[in-house]
Structure 1
Amino acid sequence: MIKTFLIERRSWILVFLFQQCFILLIAYIDSAIPFKPVLYIVYLSLIMFTIFVVIRCHKETKFYKSLEEWENNLDVTSINDPESPFETIIERSITGQTKQLKQTASQNRLMLENEKDELMAWIHEVKTPLTAMHLIIERMEDQSFKSSLSYEWLRIHLLLDQQLHQKRISFIENDLSLETIQLKSLIFKEIRDLQSWCIQKGIGFDIQLETAEVLSDAKWLSFIIRQLLTNAIKYSETSDIVIKSYEQNDRTHLEVKDFGRGIDPKDISRIFDKGFTSTTKHHDHASTGMGLYLAKKAAKPLLIHMNVHSTPNMGTSFTLTFPKRNEFVNIISV
């Protein structure tokens, strides 16, 4: 900050030094003016000017230091009070702009909350006719037609479910309820919901649950597993999906493995990015690029680590590593 102050005031400093040099030059040229007294006066002037610069540096940089340390978080209370007209102008400008930004941010936040509430209300309203449609489909006798409608109904249901969880995920910490979950019942429920899709694609399941239960949030764990299963079904054809759980290093692991088209190695690091679909099958319009992104985001507050291994044309394996029980203290304390 001292260097900045000297650069800012360099014109004044240079004018003063030029003035002192000019006085010495006049005294040196003009023999009528005694040189030594003038030199002494210039020496005293330099000392006084140096003291003046030091005092002004401390006084003027105090305000600008507070600006430099300001985190720009719309809180102007950390900025020092102005002590000069120019500092007052700056302080007024910052305060005015900050007030306007706060008002705009508040209005945008309110609009966003209203839109989110309206969308969630709409999703819940749409679920009613969807439920009625599902009951009608179940009573149909034409099995081929019934299978096609069930698949399309399931797609709509999964998209609405994904949209609903996407809106809820911003306040997931307030929605957690930790309990002991039976993996078998949870996984079987998700498989039953996806049954029509699996039948259409000729996909079966090989379930090997060495560890029967985990401690987590049932609703959000169901959502994560649902995204992994839909992802495995989407990219598989006439093959089994292996689901197994086991203990390793005092942690429970749940693996979902398919034998589908796999993931290109260059895409592995990006599959959890928002909106990313694929570089090899970029024309695939069935993928939204949101499922794995939301699953990863939901897993974070649950302290679940997601790991993926994939070989092109051989299949993909997603592994959920659950935390130890004592680590849930971090969740409860949030």
Structure 2
Amino acid sequence: MFKDFLVERKSWIAMFVALELLSLFIAYVDPTLPVESLLYIVFLSSCLFLVFLFYRYHKETRFYKTLKETNLTTSSSIEAERPFEKMVRDTITLQATELKKDISFKQNSLEKQKDELLSWIHEVKTPLTAMQLIIDRLDNKDSKASLQYEWLRIHLLLDQQLHQKRIPFMENDLYIEKVDLRQLVFSEIKTLQSWCMQKGIGFETVFEGSEVLTDAKWAGFIIRQLLTNAVKYSNETADITIRSFDYNGGTVLEIKDFGTGISARDLSRIFDKGYTSTSKHHDNKATGMGLYLAKKAASPLLISISVISTPGEGSVFTLTFPKRNAFNELSGM
């Protein structure tokens, strides 16, 4: 900070040096003035000026050091001795107060929008349920299959939107318990049944490790996103392989599809928000949110998601559930 202080006071320093040089110049051109005595005076005044400079450095920078280490919420507690320091402190405090009011207003507005959207989603589920009952009564198999597929798409999009709004507050909604992974996976497969039948996709499942410690609702959401992604990009009549096994004290779930795969340039970005693909920009059905939300929801659950993919051969998404002792603080178990 001393360097910054010198830069800030360079005009003072330049003025002092100019005055001292002027004194020496006058003594040089005026033979009546003793140069040696004037040099002695310049030396003493320079020493005094250096002492004054160091004193002012400690005096003036104390306020700015405190200001640098203080956040906006505690700016009003900064000690200010001089008028300009008080002016700076009061201005910052006033701006901080206005910013807090603005943030509070925007948070309330966002919270209101979130509540309205969640209410709307729940309202839409009522006609969706009625539509499902109507579809179930249809006799035409082709029409029934097509309508069931479109119904499922709407259901999945609403479900994704619902969880997207809940994710920022999901830690308040967690209930950590022992969950049967096999039952959870089969429940999600059943949800996608009509879509899988339309594409002729089947499932091969092997569960060597089935019990995990997690939140069933959120874990189901994560698995749903991975299964939806696998079904969407799988080739028709290609099966999806699902297996689980115990590894290093935790449980691993692998979901393997034999679809288009993911290019190397996309692989590092597939979990980014809104990212779809560099090779499939014509795919208007992709929202770029499924894998992003899955990754986002996995973090509070201490679930690790990884992927291995080969273009043209398919992808393997791996969920690694945490060890039991990793959840001691969250579950109290």
TM-score range, shorter chain: over 0.9
Structure 1 contact 305–322 (Cα < 8 Å) conserved: yes
Secondary structure (helix, strand or coil) at the match of 2:268 reads helix
Residues 92-150 of structure 1 show CA distances to partners (whole Å, capped at 9, x for unaligned) of 33222222211111111110000000000111111111112111211222222111111
Identity of aligned residues (%): 59
Which residue pairs with 1:45 in the alignment?
Answer: 45
Q: Which residue of 2 aligns with 1:102?
A: 100
SS at match of 1:75: helix
Secondary structure of the residue that 1:270 maps to in structure 2?
coil
C-alpha distance in 2 between matches for 1:40 and 1:181: 89
Q: Deviations over 1:285-322 (max 9, x none)?
A: 11111000000111111111111011111111101111
Q: Deviations over 1:23-61 (max 9, x none)?
A: 233334433333444333333222222211111111111
Segments of structure 2 that go 5 or more residues without pairing to the other structure are none
Residue aligning to 1:2: 2
Structure 1 unmatched runs, 5+: none
Structure 2 match to 1:267: 266
Given candidates 153, 172, 175, the residue that maps to 1:174 is 172
Is contact 2:242-2:254 (8 Å) kept?
A: yes
Structure 2 Cα separation of the partners of residues 14 and 330 of structure 1: 63
Contact 2:302 2:321 in 1 (8 A): yes
| Amino acid aligned to 1:235 | Y
Task: Give the match for residue 32 of structure 1.
Answer: 32
Count of aligned residue pairs for this structure pair: 331
- Matches for 1:1-334 after TM superposition, within 5 Å: 1-71=1-71, 74-77=72-75, 80-236=78-234, 237-332=236-331
The worse-fitting range, judged by mean Cα deviation, of 80-89 and 214-223 is: 80-89
Aligned AA (2:250): R
CA distance in 2: counterparts of 1:172 and 1:112, whole angstroms: 16
The aligned amino acid for 1:275 is: G
Q: What TM-score comes out, normalization by structure 1 length?
A: 0.94
- Whether the aligned pair in 2 keeps the contact of 1:67 and 1:79 (CA below 8 Å) is no
C-alpha distance in structure 1 between counterparts of 2:142 and 2:67, whole Å: 70
- The ranges of structure 1 where at least 4 consecutive aligned residues each deviate by more than 4 angstroms after the TM superposition are none
Partner deviation per Cα, 1:142-180 (whole Å, 9 max, x = no partner): 222111111111111110100000000001111111111
Change (3 A) 1:79 1:23: farther
Q: What SS is found at the alignment partner of 1:281?
A: coil
Residue by residue over 1:253-273, the C-alpha shift from the partner in whole angstroms, topping out at 9 and shown as x without a partner, is 101111111111111001000
TM-score (norm 2): 0.94
Q: Distance in 2 between matches of 1:91 and 1:78?
A: 7
